[in-house]
């Protein structure tokens, strides 16, 4: 019974995620989700207390997925400069693989929902910035950048770049791919600060 309930919850979340992939969709309601699943709204509320809780679980999925990949990159790649480049590219490509999730993390899908959801999204961006700073410190220890280099400022710029690419992806109806022009953009984003490394060259 517990397994069946878990499967049903996953099915509901998958339906919500699929609906979010429609860039021209109107505000998603529990009624619309129920209609898509051919169930009553009451049936939805047996699994989730509210639509906000559904979004909360989607945000949790985004967070777990992003940071499991970041942890793998930082574990597999000892070079700090290489870590930063790989993390940024992964973030750009994650958007393209999960367009519906981008409507959540950019705030577009949760603008009229519980404020707590936006706070959780903000925390993800804070953690992403912290991960980039960690890789910068590794690069610093390896003398890839100067000892007095402003790591915090550069990390903030890089996350702002990612957030901007994600936002444009959503605003253009998923047409402006975040990783487009990455080979040229990474030179501007990384090349001026890091010493010449194979990982930041085309």
Residue-by-residue DSSP string for 27-65 = ---HHHHHHHHTS-HHHHHTT-S-HHHHHHHHHHHHHHH
Return the domain boundaries, the chain: 51-200
Q: Return d(Cα 61, Cα 102) in angstroms, integer.
A: 12
For 27, residues 6+ apart whose C-beta sits below 8 A from its C-beta are 112
Mean pLDDT, all residues of the chain: 90
Residues in the chain: 202
- pLDDT cut 90: percent of the chain above it: 71
pLDDT tens profile 4-38: 777 888 899 999 999 999 877 667 888 999 998 89
Q: Please compute the mean of the pLDDT values over residues 140-145 and round it to a whole number.
A: 89
Question: What is residue 168's predicted lDDT score, i.e. its pLDDT?
Answer: 97
Report pLDDT for 193: 57
Residue 71 has pLDDT above 60, yes or no: yes
Split at pLDDT 50, 70, 90, the class of 195 is very low
pLDDT at 134 over 50: yes
Is the pLDDT at 93 greater than 90, yes or no?
yes
pLDDT (tens digit per residue) in 52-63: 999 999 999 999
Residue 101: which of 72, 121, 116 has the closest Cα? 121
pLDDT in tens, 160-178: 999 999 999 999 999 999 9
Q: Are 165 and 92 in contact (CB under 8 A)?
A: yes
| Residues 78 and 151: beta-carbon distance below 8 Å | no
**Span 51-200: which CATH code?**
1.10.357.10
Q: Is 174 helix (H, G, I), strand (E, B) or coil?
A: coil
Q: Give the pLDDT confidence score for residue 165 in this predicted structure.
A: 98
């Amino acid at each position: 019974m517990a397994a069946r309930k878990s499967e049903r919850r996953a099915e509901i979340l998958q339906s919500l995620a699929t609906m979010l992939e429609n860039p021209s969709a109107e505000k998603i309601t529990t009624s619309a989700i129920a209609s898509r699943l051919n169930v009553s709204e009451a049936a939805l509320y047996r699994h989730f207390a509210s639509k906000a809780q559904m979004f909360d679980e989607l945000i949790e999925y985004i967070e777990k997925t992003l940071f499991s990949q970041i942890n793998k990159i930082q574990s597999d790649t000892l070079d700090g400069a290489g870590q930063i480049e790989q993390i940024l590219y992964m973030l750009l490509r994650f958007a393209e693989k999960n367009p519906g999730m981008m409507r959540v993390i950019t705030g577009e899908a949760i603008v009229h929902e519980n404020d707590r959801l936006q706070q959780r999204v903000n925390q993800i961006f804070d953690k992403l910035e912290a991960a980039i700073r960690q890789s910068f410190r590794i690069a610093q220890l390896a003398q890839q950048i100067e000892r007095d280099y402003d790591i915090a400022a550069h990390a903030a710029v890089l996350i702002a770049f990612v957030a901007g690419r994600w936002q444009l992806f959503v605003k253009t109806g998923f047409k402006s791919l975040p990783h487009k022009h990455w080979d040229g953009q990474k030179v501007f984003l990384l090349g001026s600060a890091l010493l010449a490394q194979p990982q930041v060259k085309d």
